[in-house]
Structure 1
Amino acid sequence: MNLTETITSITQEETIKSLVFHGLQSGGAFALWRKPKTQTIEFILDENQETHRIGLTLEELPAGFVVHPFADQEDKKAFFIQASQYFKFNLEEPISAEELPVWLQSSISQLDGSTEKVEKLLRVRSVGSTKTPIQGSSKESFIQLVDQGIEAISSGILEKIVPARTKVLDLPKGFDLGKTILKLIQSYPNSFVNFFHIPQVGTWMGASPEVLIETKGDFFYTMALAGTQAAQGDNPLKAAAWTQKEIEEQALVCRYIVDCFKKIRLREYEEHGPKTVLAGNLLHLRTDFKVNMKATGFPQLGSVMLDLLHPTSAVCGMPRKAAHEFLQENESFDRSFFAGFFGPVNIESETSIYVNLRTANFQENQVILFAGAGVTEDSDPEKEWEETEMKCEIIGKFIKHPSA
């Protein structure tokens, strides 16, 4: 396999559609993604149709794509899509069909522009990926969960909790997956837009704004992302006004990362922020952290920090153990891969792992949306519900209205 293979005329939408068709038709696990602030679409397929689960020593893994659920696994292993086939192309460059790999040319020929073939395969492959059907969360039940969280914080058990909810949509007849993925890519340039499928495990699509860990050459990166408000006006970044509740929520996530550095006695790091950032139609507060792994003598910092950070306080709460136990006891559904982590590993000397947010799970004839809200002592349950509605809409509007 040549990991530097690229292409430089079929349309971008047809190429994406053909890649997804190729993956679904193969019977194996595959992933397609676009990293934030890039124009490069990447695709990998694992030709071995057995499901792989691996330990998380990232530096020792072959090129591939890792997927880990929210809940810790007893054996600390994650699902892994090994790159038997790898392909990438740039959205800003013309695509010459004759320069495509033979397997992709074959898929394009079989597909012949058909949306129906992809839709049928999507529904078939999404059958049986969860043991228990997930129901949509009612407003009443979510507000009750938020109230329970506020009570636990007031009593001193927790500092912060991040309850989540679900929303169920019907998968529309004639759903065009290729067009929808392209629309997500165009609409969310600052997010990790992704689609992945692991047979009998799950089929997911999303646009995550949050890096968990990233390694490029000698450098390690992570971020603290918390606080949410709707983007408003012609210049939403300048118009943003943050409440004390949101500022404190973001500070908790920063402190959590710094505490992880202290645990491994890492003192040399750069911290930049917090600053207001745009993710779709939402604003967040973000602080970036950077470490020179060579200068600090931490060549395996990516794996070490991945283990320490997940699940972060931004998706779970603080203290982490107590927050995790609260969610396990009080949430009425299995988060599965929502608020877990995923991303490409050791592809062209880079590893980029993201928190699985702004995401949707395909279930044959339905799509399950997931969203959470950071709850502190000053939270208003009604506003937390509204926040989850906004977050669900980031992906949901493209399911309900693919041409949105």
Structure 2
Amino acid sequence: MSTAPQVAEPHTLAEPAHPAVGVATGLLNSYAPGARFLGTPTRTLLGEGVHREVPHDGRPPHQRVAAALADARAAGHPAPVVLGAIPFDQDAPAALAVPATLHTAPPLIADPLVALPAEPPSPQDELTVHQEPAPEQYAASVASVVDRMWQGEFSKVVLARTLRVDAARPLDVPAMLQRLARRDPSGYTFALPTGPDRTLLGASPELLVSRHGDRVVANPLAGSVARSTDLAEDVRRAAALLESAKDLHEHAVVVNAVAENLAPHCTGLTVPDRPTLVRTATMWHLSTTVTGTLRTRDTSALELACALHPTPAVCGTPTSLARRVIRETEPFDRGFFTGMVGWGDADGDGEWVVTIRCAEAEPTSLRLYAGAGVVAASEPAAETAETAAKFRTFLSAVGARL
């Protein structure tokens, strides 16, 4: 039975509150497992309780979400918002709901208190890390895919691997979220329930698409290198990434696909000629911000996201063949990894983020995911090292090492 909706703040999502010390970090501190937390560069959201679940049926995700939001508004909710996650396979069950109570705040990056360090992980005497597949098996898969590319079968496939971290005692999910959010407060940090005693949490650097009124923004990332703790080496790696023919080609494939899929929905699409750099705590990424004006307000942010997903940044080119190679090669189901997390309101505005740098947490275990874009110029050892570097975001949050 649906509960009566409560709105914790008088403002709407389209008009975030003015920055105030401690407001955004207050929501971060209030998170508890079962709630829905999402921090973006435009706002911080904390949803508690469930006013309405988005059902799973044969309709596309954006149609199911639009219907749930319309039902919630008809039931008296003054400003319904959907928060949640959609799997890599859009036809698989999603984890989307309209919270009973929604707290909103300015972005974490606008709150000075986010600069305060999080408590370090408690020593875990019995953390066990299992690599699935093993690094040498993953490298062999990369080599096999590269061979097929040289034979002309396809041009890019994103291959992933996982880590399972088992703990001797229950994991502290709110503490992990704190460490992720405070380490990269300008990114997209999330913690969302995906099943009984299961939480999807992460800190993604990649905006799939946002819509605010008629303004559309996408920020594809492709082409990466691990950062260095030595400043001079870190700068050298960033400069080399900007000149890497292999990474620039990989990036261009993704940007072109994003622009082609947005073009039917937008006018005045702006696509920069060259990428810039985005940094996280562990990685440098090539980044391009694509902007446009929506042709019709009937197209929601989630409908745009579904039209873009999966981009070559998380799947490959051509998409249908890359999907098949992924199913044949990866010895696990991606689930929500490389899917989408985000929010959407009844007016069609929203932000949807690529679900990377993430893990699914259960009471005493974590399943971590990381992938690398494989092209004809890829080297198996380098792609294996890239996935290891991407794992560091979460391993540091839990206090484990690879």
Tell me the TM-score normalised to structure 1 length: 0.77
- In the alignment, does 2:47 pair up with 1:44? yes
Alpha-carbon distance in 2 for matches of 1:181, 1:291:
33
- In the alignment, does 2:184 pair up with 1:227? no
Pairwise mapping of residues 4-403 of structure 1 onto structure 2 (< 5 A)?
A: 4-5=9-10, 16-20=28-32, 23-24=33-34, 30-36=35-41, 41-47=44-50, 52-53=55-56, 55-57=61-63, 61=69, 62-73=80-91, 78-89=94-105, 92=111, 136-171=132-167, 173=169, 175-200=171-196, 202-232=198-228, 233-234=230-231, 236=234, 239-242=238-241, 243-262=244-263, 264=264, 266=266, 268-272=268-272, 273-293=274-294, 296-297=295-296, 299-300=298-299, 302-346=301-345, 350-400=349-399
Amino acid at match of 2:326: L
* CA contact 2:83–2:98 (8 Å) conserved in 1: yes
Following TM superposition, by how much is the alpha carbon of 1:35 offset from its aligned partner in structure 2, in angstroms? 0.7
Secondary structure at the counterpart of residue 342 of structure 2: strand
Task: Tell me the residue number matched to 1:131.
Answer: none
Report the CA distance shift for 1:200/1:288 in structure 2 as closer, same or farther (over 3 A).
same
Alpha-carbon distance in 1 for matches of 2:188, 2:265:
31
Task: Tell me the residue number matched to 2:73.
Answer: none
Alpha-carbon distance in 1 for matches of 2:262, 2:53:
37
Alpha-carbon distance in 1 for matches of 2:158, 2:211:
27
Tell me the TM-score normalised to structure 2 length: 0.77
Following TM superposition, by how much is the alpha carbon of 1:149 offset from its aligned partner in structure 2, in angstroms? 1.3
Following TM superposition, by how much is the alpha carbon of 1:142 offset from its aligned partner in structure 2, in angstroms? 0.6
Following TM superposition, by how much is the alpha carbon of 1:337 offset from its aligned partner in structure 2, in angstroms? 0.3
Report the CA distance shift for 1:174/1:364 in structure 2 as closer, same or farther (over 3 A).
closer
Report the CA distance shift for 1:270/1:135 in structure 2 as closer, same or farther (over 3 A).
same
- Stretch deviating more after TM superposition (85-94 or 213-222): 85-94
Task: Tell me the residue number matched to 1:124.
Answer: none
Task: Tell me the residue number matched to 1:123.
Answer: none
Alpha-carbon distance in 2 for matches of 1:216, 1:10:
26
Following TM superposition, by how much is the alpha carbon of 1:258 offset from its aligned partner in structure 2, in angstroms? 2.3
Following TM superposition, by how much is the alpha carbon of 1:72 offset from its aligned partner in structure 2, in angstroms? 3.2
* CA contact 2:170–2:364 (8 Å) conserved in 1: no
* CA contact 1:228–1:283 (8 Å) conserved in 2: yes
Alpha-carbon distance in 2 for matches of 1:302, 1:350:
6
Alpha-carbon distance in 2 for matches of 1:269, 1:50:
35
Task: Tell me the residue number matched to 2:126.
Answer: none
Report the CA distance shift for 1:201/1:50 in structure 2 as closer, same or farther (over 3 A).
farther
Aligned pairs, number: 351
Alpha-carbon distance in 2 for matches of 1:219, 1:171:
45
* CA contact 2:87–2:338 (8 Å) conserved in 1: yes
- Which 5+ residue runs of structure 2 have no aligned equivalent? 1-5, 12-16, 70-79, 114-120, 123-129
- Stretch deviating more after TM superposition (374-383 or 227-236): 227-236
Alpha-carbon distance in 2 for matches of 1:290, 1:257:
11
Secondary structure at the counterpart of residue 136 of structure 2: helix
Secondary structure at the counterpart of residue 53 of structure 1: coil
Following TM superposition, by how much is the alpha carbon of 1:202 offset from its aligned partner in structure 2, in angstroms? 3.8
Alpha-carbon distance in 2 for matches of 1:383, 1:306:
30
Following TM superposition, by how much is the alpha carbon of 1:253 offset from its aligned partner in structure 2, in angstroms? 0.4
Following TM superposition, by how much is the alpha carbon of 1:332 offset from its aligned partner in structure 2, in angstroms? 0.4
- Stretch deviating more after TM superposition (49-58 or 220-229): 49-58
Alpha-carbon distance in 1 for matches of 2:21, 2:266:
51
Report the CA distance shift for 1:154/1:353 in structure 2 as closer, same or farther (over 3 A).
same
Offset from partner CA, 1:116-172 (integer Å, 9 cap, x none): 9xxxxxxxxxxxxxxxxx973201221121122112211211110100000122236
Aligned-pair RMSD on alpha carbons? 3.3
* CA contact 2:84–2:192 (8 Å) conserved in 1: no
Following TM superposition, by how much is the alpha carbon of 1:9 offset from its aligned partner in structure 2, in angstroms? 12
Following TM superposition, by how much is the alpha carbon of 1:66 offset from its aligned partner in structure 2, in angstroms? 3.3
